Amino acid sequence: MWLGFPLLVMVACLLLWPLGVIAVRSLTFGTGHLSLRRYADVLTDGDYLRSFLITSLLAVLSTVIAIALCVPAALYLERTRDRLSRLMAAAMTIPLSLPGIVIGFFVILLFGTTGVVPVTARQVFGNSFGQLAYTFTGLLIGYLYFNIPRVILVVRGAVAEVSPEAIDAARTLGANPMHVYRRVIIPALLPSIASAAALSLATAFGAFGTAATLSRGYRVVPLDISAAFTEQFKPELAATLSVLLAIVTTAILVGVGRLGERRTR
């Protein structure tokens, strides 16, 4: 049992104790009395509610698009299984190794003021368009980029369980492709789609690097935490927002994951 001791010490000193400190700091006021007032303040503040709304929209939209793209893609990779599709699968995992800031830079490189799309558009069409790096769309593209490999990774393993016979039979009976996806493939993959969604949503809610690189206007919660701590020098406010964000991400991972498990019973 002593083998687990180093891990226990690490978790206690670097995780549990600091999380406890954040929780206490978020609840403590000057003379040491405890109150939920900061939580009430944050949850009634228009700016912070807007941040939570924008973060939720980015997380949900990027997750939905990633699932719509990656479920068919995973099915294809699993059913072809040749050298090429193995290479394609490896290519799709590349974004996993890139930190959020690099993903944010990719969006700037493509859609920034002097990005590839605007510069090329000016040369070809005479006027530049596509400068959307610092808009909601730009953020969404960045979030989609890091969610694609996450969804692929989770769904790919489960696709093997969808019986090719069921798909072929449905096709033979005249079901159109949309129907096959809706009635055969998606129901069979529901548990793994749920856990992919949980992973993708939680990652998006916690994403800091991508948002920091693209943050000229749209605020997401991790940026608010950073601003509260480094710009406004309000560690207690940063602590309150951190607790709320950690509750959201943990609840998504546990809750959405469970949802998938229950549906299969």
User: Does residue 125 interact with another protein by CB under 8 A?
Assistant: no
User: Does residue 235 interact with another protein by CB under 8 A?
Assistant: yes
- Using alpha carbons only, what angle is made at residue 203 by residues 233 and 192, rounded to the nearest 5 degrees? 160
User: Does residue 145 interact with another protein by CB under 8 A?
Assistant: yes
Distance CA 240, CA 190 (A): 35
**Among residues 208, 219, 234, 259, the one that binds another protein under rule CB under 8 A:** 208
Binding segment (CB under 8 A) for another protein, from list 27-35, 36-44, 45-53, 245-253 = 245-253
For the bound state, the minimum distance from the C-beta of residue 187 to another protein, rounded and expressed in Å, comes to 9
User: Does residue 54 interact with another protein by CB under 8 A?
Assistant: no
User: Does residue 42 interact with another protein by CB under 8 A?
Assistant: no
**Among residues 140, 155, 193, 202, the one that binds another protein under rule CB under 8 A:** 202
Binding segment (CB under 8 A) for another protein, from list 33-41, 42-50, 111-119 = 111-119
Distance CA 63, CA 58 (A): 8
**Among residues 56, 57, 226, 259, the one that binds another protein under rule CB under 8 A:** 226
Q: Are 196 and 156 in contact (CB under 8 A)?
A: no
- The residue count for binding another protein (CB under 8 A) is 112
Distance CA 88, CA 69 (A): 14
Point out which residues pair with 28 in neighbouring strands: 34
Q: State the alpha helices, DSSP H only, in the chain.
A: 5-10, 17-27, 37-44, 46-80, 83-92, 100-111, 116-125, 136-159, 164-172, 177-180, 186-206, 209-213, 221-230, 235-264
For the bound state, the minimum distance from the C-beta of residue 131 to another protein, rounded and expressed in Å, comes to 13
